[in-house]
Structure 1
């Protein structure tokens, strides 16, 4: 989630393996967002249909979906 709502970065895994420049750029952008949000305290979860969400600390380009949950600040 961002100030604009949900940000989605997608790529075709086969195109990444083939070295497609657009797909590789998308992976780099997803890695950048992941690192930036983790540095801000966000928690990341790998989400797969039919399975419980799994907390992850490292970016996984093979994950079907990664959800970033911003740090919750209360008072």
Structure 2
């Protein structure tokens, strides 16, 4: 399963999709990927940082949405003062 996790004050929100169903052009899976990509792009414009997480490897910072990723974590810009 692919997953986009969006960190927030409430914890994290998740959008999940099945990559095999995406390849098969399943409408629900495609809709989930499009929604995840829209959220990813909006968050990046606002300064969020994105990381691709894989079970057996290092975390990788990414700038473009990857629907084949196991998990993408979006961390909003931290504002202090």
TM-score, structure 1 as length reference: 0.91
Q: Which digits, 9 at most, give the CA deviation of each residue in 1:2-48, with x for residues without a partner?
A: 45431111111111111100000000000011011101100000000
Q: Which has the higher contact order (CA 8 A, sep 6+)?
A: 2
Query: As a proportion of its length, which structure holds more strand?
Result: 2
Q: How many residues align?
A: 75
User: Unpaired runs of 5+ in structure 1?
Assistant: none
Q: Please give the TM-score of this superposition, normalised by the length of structure 2.
A: 0.85
RMSD of the alignment, in Å? Answer: 1.2
Any gaps of 5 or more consecutive residues in structure 2? 1-6
